[in-house]
Amino acid sequence: MSVQTAKIILLHGWGFTPAIWTPLIDALVRHGINRDQLLAPKLPLTSGSLSQTIEAFIPMIPERAHLVGWSLGGELALALSHTMGERIASLSLMASTPCFMNRDDWALGQPASLLDDFDQRLAENPVALLKRFSMLIRHGDVAASRDRVLTEALHHCNDGDPAQLAAGLQLLRNIDLRTSVSSVTTPSQLIHGAQDAVVPVAAAAWLAEALNAPLEMIKDASHALPLTHARQIADRLHGFMEQHA
């Protein structure tokens, strides 16, 4: 089964809709991939429970698929590969981590205070929260931080549903996949921005080593990879998926 026939499932991150994938989908189509093979579902965030979220995802995954996940979508893609690896031809993780929040034995994430702040902002003003997060994911990429087109694109891709946002924040608090990684046998690769201010580079390096997977660092890139480096990522994805068709 080639990459031309296997489905490619694109899982977006917290705070955004599947529209975040539009530049990457267009870039993959230019590689000759049929647009009908590219599926970008809205994350089924109905609760902060990882098991319930994965259960909701299972009917969306065809018999054979390549999984591509960005940010929270990468954590969910990793969990899906752990749960149903026999269906997953390849796993590509962008700006991803096995554990978003710091814990007593994990210092490669974000402090709980960040999510506390997001919870408060969500209760007070969801629009302002998304604006704050959009600034954070661009931080570190000088070109992106000054790009008005990118600002408009991020605004267009925002998910303003408070229930979805709240469930996603709870997932970010709860997910810890470190003990699951060793059982993931899906051929995997990681792509990360060298200036990512949301997911530390060290977390991606830890995950790459645990998966025995290559890690491509994109110089001067931030967390906003699907919008800022779609062509470069499409080149990488196409070659990897062809290799593991």
Is 238 a residue of the active site? no
- For residue 1, what pLDDT is reported? 42
For residues 26-55, average pLDDT: 94
Tokens of 122: 């969500």
- For residue 168, what pLDDT is reported? 96
pLDDT digits (tens, 9 = 90+) for 141-200: 777 666 777 788 888 899 989 999 999 999 999 999 999 999 999 999 999 999 999 999
Residue 56 makes CB contacts below 8 A (sequence gap 6+) with 44, 46
Q: Write down the CATH number for the domain with range 7-243.
A: 3.40.50.1820
Q: How is the chain split into domains, by residue range? A: 7-243
Instruction: Decide: residue 124, CB within 10 A, 0-12 exposed, 13-18 middle, 19+ buried.
Output: exposed
Q: Is the pLDDT of residue 6 over 90?
A: no
pTM of the model: 0.95
- For residue 226, what pLDDT is reported? 94
Is 223 a residue of the active site? yes
- Which listed residue (66, 71, 92, 244) is catalytic? 71
State the pLDDT confidence band at 99, using cuts at 50, 70 and 90: very high
Q: Is 126 left (phi over 0), alpha (psi -120 to 50) or beta?
A: alpha
Proportion of the chain above pLDDT 90, given as a percent: 83
- Which listed residue (196, 229, 238, 244) is catalytic? 196
Place of tokens 């800022």: 228
The C-alpha atoms of residue 60 and residue 241 are separated, in whole angstroms, by: 19
Nearest 5°: CA angle at 71, between 69 and 74? 35
C-alpha dihedral, 54 to 95 to 30 to 86, nearest 10°: -40
**Count of beta carbons in the 10 Å neighbourhood of residue 64:** 14
Q: Is the pLDDT of residue 10 over 60?
A: yes
- Which listed residue (12, 82, 192, 223) is catalytic? 223
State the pLDDT confidence band at 121, using cuts at 50, 70 and 90: very high
Is 66 a residue of the active site? no
* Mean model confidence pLDDT for the chain: 93
Tokens of 126: 């969801």
